[in-house]
Amino acid sequence: MREKKVLFMVANIRVSNGVTSVVMNNYDKLIKDGYQVDFCAIYDRPSPYFDKLKECGSNYYLLPQKDDKPDEEKVYSFIEDIISKNNYTIVHNHILGRYGLMVCDIAKKYKVPFRIFHSHNPNYFENYKQLIAHYVFEKRSLSRCNGFVACSSFAGKSLFGKRDFTVIKNTIDVNKFAFDIEKRNAFREENGIAEDDFVLGTVCRYTFQKNPMFMVDIFEKILQKEPNAKFVWAGTGELENQLKEYIASKNLQDKIILLGNCSDTVPVYCGMDAFLLPSRFEGMGFVFIEAQACGVKCYASDVVPKDTEITDLISYYPLNLSSEKWADEILKGKNSFDENVRKSYNEKVIKSGYDTDTNTDLIDFYNKLLKD
């Protein structure tokens, strides 16, 4: 078998990041199996994982920075230096755009045996500029790669077309997300939520993709019929100011609790009665897996891949459905709280293949490449 040496190209490894979850949920298994795992990141962001990487002997390379973003004049030579000197067997690219193209191009130039492109989202273009960027960067990146993986069949078909690809499931520590009544009670008490309040919630960034203003609209309609409702929201994002202004314009500041970037989202899920995420597009949406592991009813847009339908807790609705009808569906599914029912879903999610401890998709994929 070839030498086990991998370079992950990522935006960063901050928490509450889908790519970080995919990579770090497989990290221990790769290290245990004898892989040298290094990282090259685009942005300088803090992470609790830095100490772990250091302890395990991983290198963490940050692109040269200028004014809190990559110094474009130095990036290419920096990546070239890393790849040319380290004899990687696998370069696994998790990013789109110019830097994704650079790493794929350089990996091919230096004859890295396996150049992997990972699709985390389906193609989605808001304007012609994004469409052109796709053809300038992604199409060329794919031509430099010889291995293709995706978080779902939908995300893979969207980006790779007729190319063969392998689905690598986004996994979670399912037992960690098991419902815990003490965590529920503590979370509600800390956030001024009464025991009989109906709590809708989400875990996502404030971005166009996640459709944040529509979630506010839906909750506003719920509140008209359920005055004891609250909305809890774990996340941050570039639309933070606009979101806060929108919430204030509807006078919902006392009802929508913005929790910010939560390093531990388990208490948030425990505190919820229902989970909402009407995304405009999704490659997978593994927060739905987390929510189901905690026994939370989930309400998703119908563009969310059906790979997430691993229990009877999730329902899908079209984005052109009115906010009032979304609210009606959520309230229709409202049941009295049952601790045992919530706990029972943990085992169902483990059996679905999304448990980090039992899933070996990525390491099996790598080992097959190296063996062949």
* 184, 329: one domain: yes
Q: What is the pLDDT of residue 228?
A: 96
* 366, 322: one domain: no
Burial class of 235 by CB neighbour count within 10 A (0 to 12, 13 to 18, 19+): buried
* 30, 144: one domain: yes
Give me the residues paired with residue 318 across strands. Answer: none
Helices 97-109, 72-86: crossing angle, 10 deg rounding: 30
pTM of the model: 0.79
* 196, 338: one domain: yes
Burial class of 287 by CB neighbour count within 10 A (0 to 12, 13 to 18, 19+): buried
Q: What is the pLDDT of residue 16?
A: 65
* 155, 273: one domain: no
Q: What is the pLDDT of residue 285?
A: 85
Domain span holding position 31: 5-170+356-371
Look up the CATH number of the domain holding residue 180. 3.40.50.2000
Q: What is the pLDDT of residue 209?
A: 93
Q: What is the pLDDT of residue 312?
A: 96
The 3 state secondary structure assigned to 260-328 is: ECCCCCHHHHHHCCEEEECCCCCCCCCHHHHHHHCCCEEEEECCCCHHHCCCCCEEEECCCCCHHHHHH
* 225, 336: one domain: yes
Side-chain half-sphere exposure of 136, counting CA atoms within 13 A: 9
Place of tokens 């830095």: 50
Q: Which positions ≥6 away from 248 have C-beta within 8 Å? A: none
Give the integer Cα–Cα distance in Å for 169 and 167. Answer: 6
Domain count along the chain: 2
Give the integer Cα–Cα distance in Å for 20 and 26. Answer: 10
Q: What is the pLDDT of residue 21?
A: 83
* 299, 183: one domain: yes
* 222, 339: one domain: yes
Helix locations, 3-149, DSSP H? 18-32, 50-55, 72-86, 97-109, 128-133, 139-144
Contact at 8 Å (CB) between 316 and 304? yes
Helices 240-249, 212-225: crossing angle, 10 deg rounding: 30
Q: What is the pLDDT of residue 299?
A: 98
Kindly give the pairing relationship between strand 256-260 and strand 229-234: parallel
Q: What is the pLDDT of residue 131?
A: 74
* 188, 128: one domain: no
Q: What is the pLDDT of residue 129?
A: 77
Mean pLDDT, 10 residues at a time, over the chain (372 residues)? 92 83 91 97 93 97 94 96 97 95 97 96 72 81 96 89 92 92 97 96 95 98 97 95 98 96 92 97 88 97 92 97 98 92 94 88 94 82
* 186, 292: one domain: yes
* 54, 83: one domain: yes
* 127, 102: one domain: yes
Contact at 8 Å (CB) between 50 and 12? no
